[in-house]
Amino acid sequence: MSERLQPGDVAPDFTLPDADGNEVSLSAHKGRKVIVYFYPAALTPGCTKQACDFTDNLSLLADAGYDVLGISPDAPEKLGKFREKENLEVTLLADPDKKVLDAYGAFGEKMNYGKTYMGVIRSTIIVDEQGKVEKALYNVRATGHVAKIIKDLGI
């Protein structure tokens, strides 16, 4: 498990495939603010709620200068099914080897029903126009998280 990012840190650059297999890099968004959120698994209730909330608020966020990238360890094919089933407009990226999840401190030890295991830590990192971490939010809740981000960013 890697260190969690802090405001002011340089956000680790990455290039990952999207739901269609096209490569998307964080550096391609330089000059725009980017909300990078990490979620455990496509097609699960909490992750669906979160992705739908981001999709519902995508134009509001875009108008405020933010791009949104969702990252999970799912394969691109599963992300495509997730996008189609839920009519998602947010860009979903596949990180099956968990290198980006690890670089962002979004993969590590979790506890559920008294058992400890390794998994995705639901996290949101807000990256500024220069590629630096503006906010790093870890162990966030799926429900109500997007509304809280919008409020905290003053959008």
Spatial neighbors of 113 by CB under 8 A, at least 6 apart, are: none
Q: Which helix (H) or strand (E) holds 82?
A: helix 76-86
Residue type, 91: T
Active site residue 47: yes
Check 5, 24, 36, 47 and give the catalytic one: 47
Give the neighbor-by-neighbor strand order of the sheet with 133-138.
91-94, 66-72, 33-38, 123-127, 133-138
5 with 135: CB under 8 angstroms? no
Q: How many CB atoms lie within 10 A of CB 65?
A: 13
Residues marked active site are found at 47
